[in-house]
Amino acid sequence: MSRRIAVLASLLTLLGCRSEIRAHGEEPTEEHAAEGANEENAEAPHAPAAAEVPAPAKARPLALKQAPEPPSDPRFAAPPDVAAPPADASRTASGLASKVLAAGTGSEHPTAESIVTVHYTGWTTDGRMFDSSARRNRPATFPLGRVIPGWTEGVQLMVVGEKRRFWIPEALAYQGRQGAPQGMLVFDVELLSIQTPPPREAAVEAPIPAPSDVAAPPANAERTPSGLASRVIEAGSGTAHPTAASQVQVHYTGWTTDGNMFDSSRTRGQPATFPLGRVIPGWTEGVQLMVVGETRRFWIPEELAYQGRPGPPAGMLVFDVELLQIL
């Protein structure tokens, strides 16, 4: 258990906010908004942690890095009420304040288990914009239960098509975390879509036995120039392959080559959802070989996994991965 905790912590650190987790400057804050917050709630494959961002471990709002100051653009100028919520803002018992900017067309509200797609822009109360998916022209998709508490609570108030401004007190944002925006944060959020994940499966208590070929890739395994080896365990029903820019949902189990299981979404009874470009290189490359419904076993050499970093599993890693959805 202690090793599992250490691995998760390491992944979270890596995954934190991809220089991309982008976070501030380049890509959505799925990092700022979606990753940084409640680490207790986030889950990600222990292995898919990318050099910059581990994989699906606990994602909280996305912001662990500060984005550069944006160019002068009236679309991203701080709103006049950025310093504090106005008198007509609604407030919840937690201290979250919000105001509807444009009514939505939907009737369904997301839950904390939903996967949502949003556009957003975030400012500190002095009017500095620190992140914006709208500026990147790239919506952010993330599990709503894996972001800062203010996002988890606030987006559940919304319906599809709605635009809302949130004033999120520090206690519901990054809680003084080093590197993240400080104090109360203000976000304009537009809810684009809601996806309902499959029901949570029964968790598996016992470790999943290692496959018979865990020690090394067999002769019939496919190999790529990078050194990644894999073989199809079960053919898929889909035809499309994800790209490095795709958001994917998978079930997976990982072992070291001595047969020790170090992580599994199946033992938690919950698939993992994450941006494929923000996990360890072996996952980013390997899952792109798959189609929906396919289960594949990967032998990922250390240079495509955790590269000897302290904390995560060392050496070659073996993963069985089932690709459930390309989001």
Domain boundaries, the chain: 2-195, 222-326
**Which position among 120, 142, 274, 306 bears the catalytic label?**
120
Instruction: Please state the separation of Cα 91 from the chain's center in Å.
Output: 28
The token pair that represents 170 in the structure block:
């520090």
> For this structure, is 274 an active site residue?
no
**Which position among 21, 115, 131, 188 bears the catalytic label?**
131
Low pLDDT (below 70) residues in the chain: 1-72, 197-205
Residue 325 pairs with which residues in a beta bridge? 249
**Which position among 130, 252, 262, 298 bears the catalytic label?**
130
What pLDDT, on the 0 to 100 scale, is given for residue 33?
44
**Which position among 142, 174, 298, 306 bears the catalytic label?**
174
Which residues are CB-neighbours of 202 under 8 A, at least 6 positions away?
269
CA distance 207 to 264: 9
> For this structure, is 306 an active site residue?
no
What pLDDT, on the 0 to 100 scale, is given for residue 1?
44
CATH classification for the domain delimited by 2-195, as one of 3.40.50.300, 3.30.70.260, 3.40.640.10, 3.10.50.40: 3.10.50.40
Place of tokens 């937690």: 94
Query: Which ranges of 236-327 does DSSP label H, i.e. alpha helix?
Result: 265-268, 281-287
Question: 76 vs 26, 70, 73, CA distance in Å?
Answer: 15, 8, 6
**Nearest residue to 116 (alpha-carbon basis) of 130, 127, 104, 126:** 104
> For this structure, is 130 an active site residue?
yes
Per-residue pLDDT of 250-269, as tens digits, reads 999 999 999 999 999 988 88
Specify the 3-state DSSP secondary structure of 299: strand
**Which position among 21, 115, 142, 148 bears the catalytic label?**
148
Helix or strand run (H / E) with residue 140: strand 140-143
Place of tokens 């929906």: 292
Give yes or no on whether 2-195 and 222-326 have one common fold. yes
**What is residue 69's DSSP assignment?**
P
Beta-strand runs (E) in 227-294: 229-234, 247-256, 261-264, 272-275
What pLDDT, on the 0 to 100 scale, is given for residue 72?
63
What pLDDT, on the 0 to 100 scale, is given for residue 226?
97
**Which position among 142, 187, 262, 274 bears the catalytic label?**
187
> For this structure, is 319 an active site residue?
no
Is residue 275 a contact partner of residue 31, using CB atoms and an 8 Å limit? no
Is residue 286 a contact partner of residue 244, using CB atoms and an 8 Å limit? no
Q: Is 239 left (phi over 0), alpha (psi -120 to 50) or beta?
A: alpha
The architecture CATH gives domain 222-326:
Roll (3.10)
Is residue 195 a contact partner of residue 114, using CB atoms and an 8 Å limit? yes
> For this structure, is 166 an active site residue?
no
Q: What are phi and psi of 125, to 5 degrees?
A: -70, -5
What pLDDT, on the 0 to 100 scale, is given for residue 207?
83
> For this structure, is 298 an active site residue?
no
Half-sphere exposure of 161 toward its Cβ, with a 13 Å CA cutoff?
6
CA distance 265 to 192: 28
State the average pLDDT for the chain.
80
